[in-house]
A and B are shown apart, each in its own frame.
Chain A
Amino acid sequence: MGPSFPPPAAKPNSRHTVALVGPPNAGKTTLFNRLTGLRQKVANFPGVTVEQHTGRAKISAQRDVFLIDLPGIYSLKPCSEDERVTHDVVMGTMPGTSKPDAVLLILDATNLTRHLTLAVPILSLNLPTLVILNMADDLRSRGGEVDPAALAAQLGAPVALISASTGEGVEKIFQFLEGTAAADHRRSEPLLQLPVLQTVPRCRQWAMQAGRGSSYQAPAHSAWTRRLDAVFLHPVAGPLVFLLVVIAVFQTIFTGAKPLMDGVQNLVTSSGALIANVLPESIFRSLLIDGIWKGVGSVIVFLPQILLLFLFIGVLEDSGYLARAALIADRSMRRVGLQGKSFIPLLSAYACAVPAILATRTIENKRDRIATIMIAPFMTCSARLPVYTLLIAAFIEDRPLLGGFLGMRATTMLGLYLLGFLAAFGTARLLKSSVLKSEQTPFLLEMPPYRWPTLRSLGLRLYDRAKVFLHRAGTVILVVAVVLWALGSLPLENGKPPAIENSIVGTIGKTVEPLIAPLGFNWKIGVGLITSIAAREVIVGTLGTLYGMDSNTQSVGLQQALQKDLTPGAAVALLIFFAFAMQCMSTIAVVRRETGGWSWPVAQFAYMTFLAYLGGFIANHVMSGAGPSALALFR
């Protein structure tokens, strides 16, 4: 990967690079999004696991400024990986990234004394720096104040009081960017006497003086935050709210997403039928309809569900509740050797393991972080839902249970969630009591004040997610669909596609069949297991393509085709296989990247596949041996 812009040597003055630096939660992301809009890119810094967000800010019709958003830091001491990256970039020693021409230092004005300590190391870099005091709206509404001009005089650097979320004062940033882009006025002499001994207490003392010198009046504690915490952290009400939130998340993605998903499904089906009507019967039509439309369409259907889940996580995170949830969860997480911070990534893993694994970066302790990465793919991610939904609808009769409160299908679904959950925590225990055993690291969690999530920030998150998901559907899954179609239609017999079992894919499937026969799977499932290593949901598309091409099952839907082709034991085995197996290329890739080598992802893949096989084997045998009473639940 790496930066995709032209090397700086080409035209020395054409690209002007500005780095965004600030402590966590100062509003860096919000400001970055406001300055760049959708003109941004995410990549990785070379050699490390830290993400690099870059984007362009338009300062005039012809001029763009190149912005780099750096990870949130409390100091420039390169202790953690995040801090080292920020340190290297601003020092100009990061390979592939030129030394920034200027710095935007973004600080939370409601927390000025603490945040101003970061100004000491940043200003001593001697780069043109704009000190941005963010959250002006919040500062004012809670009765705080600060004199930016006086602070600027103290710091010897321009100061802008702004609000990244409302856009107030952002024009001052553009003015600064214009100024630095026009003239290369590097400061030659430091304008202020900065503390030479950069110990934290010394910096803090200096920051307090600077604050006093600019008539800084710290805002009153947010009354709302106090009031809300009295409920959310109440010994009884707190855990109840926590439970309600978790239930609400599930309710939304299962019930709320249904009409939207049906809508997308109808759109895919009707558009496919429309095209089929227009095109003449040919091998090309077969490729388009049976290969691409069915394969990709069956995956796109899940977009609404994924977006709803990310919307929920976005609201929880932006509102500040997620930190309280981590606090409440800490005790339970500690039982399995993890900590409250693992809760956030693990909750995200219900949407997708990839962002969850990226979210583990907030865990400072390396061993806790790897343990969290190792168990995250066990959580029931949304890519498993297509598989679960299909098999449950085909094989489980929806009888009311508990007086109609829960259906048999919903219970099965919950059971699968529970299974993944237990596997995750069992594994965490195992890891934390063996290879990843560590002394308990200090659990330090900042409680941000509660805030209203903004539509803008939520919208950008969803846009980002939709882009990633559709990109995958448009690349990996499209390729798999086309390749499969080709393998299933070749070699031609008398210029016509062969019967599916005589095709290449049929041969491959039959080769692996003996291996998976103990689980009750036939060769079609075998093909699905192979293709779904790309991504779990691919198996649905694959089976759709395979049964769609089989003349025996062409006329019936996928559900009926499966009912004819699989025993209930095999169906349950398949469900359990998918609960455990690590069928996802993206996850494997991201684990490799985040753990810095192949050993963890390989071990993880082997372990999860072993559990999946064992679970499927046991399920198939128990179900086949079960009496007719148990089988009566199934059709």
Chain B
Amino acid sequence: MQLSFKKGRLHAGPKPLPGKLSELREGEAGILDRIELPEAVSQRLMELGFIPGTSVTAAQSAPGGDPRVFRVDGTEIALRRETALHLILKR
């Protein structure tokens, strides 16, 4: 699996916060670490391909940047920012 992290500089702090899916800009990718949402919602997200350990790429968005399309596992799924906020990426 290929990784392409956001070009983030490591800060001096000991534990940099993990990035969120909502922080990806168009064309950027990240590896999903966990979904911090209620069971029923995360179940549905996993069925659609958002499984921890999978690479997710941000694609186009609706005008204004929200909702955004994400490429995961060969398909494209649109999520609102408020949902993508709870999909945490591996750091």
Contacts and interface: CB of A to CB of B under 8 A. Distances in A.
Contacts of B71: 221
B78 to A, nearest CB: 4
Nearest to B60: A233
A447 B69 contact: yes
Interface in A420-451: 440, 442-447
A229 B59 CA distance: 10
Interface stretch (A129-137, A323-331, A520-528): A323-331
Given A327-B67, A442-B83, A443-B80, A79 B62 contact: no
Contact of B74 (A113, A323, A364): A113
Contacts of A443: 67, 78-80, 83
B47 A75 contact: yes
Contacts of B60: 229-230, 233-234
Interface in B39-83: 40-41, 43-49, 51-53, 59-64, 66-67, 69, 71, 73-80, 82-83
Contacts of A201: 46, 51-53
B77 A447 contact: yes
Contact of B43 (A79, A221, A239): A79
B82 A440 contact: yes
A620 B61 CA distance: 47
Contacts of A111: 74-75
B71 to A, nearest CB: 8
A340 interface: yes
Interface residues of B, number: 33
**Max chain A CB contacts within 10 Å: which of B71, B73, B78?**
B78
Given A113-B73, A443-B80, A446-B75, A235 B63 contact: yes
B9 to A, nearest CB: 29
B35 to A, nearest CB: 10
Nearest to B76: A447
B64 A444 contact: no
A200 B54 CA distance: 13
A442 B77 CA distance: 12
Contacts of B49: 114
A117 interface: yes
Given A74-B47, A114-B75, A79 B63 contact: no
A482 interface: no
A111 B74 CA distance: 7
A380 B71 CA distance: 37
Contact of B67 (A230, A330, A364): A330
Given A114-B74, A323-B78, A447-B75, 18 more contacts: A74-B48, A75-B43, A79-B44, A114-B49, A200-B47, A204-B46, A233-B62, A238-B62, A238-B63, A327-B62, A327-B78, A331-B63, A331-B64, A442-B41, A443-B80, A443-B83, A444-B79, A445-B78
7 contacts: A111-B74, A114-B73, A201-B51, A233-B69, A440-B82, A443-B83, A445-B67
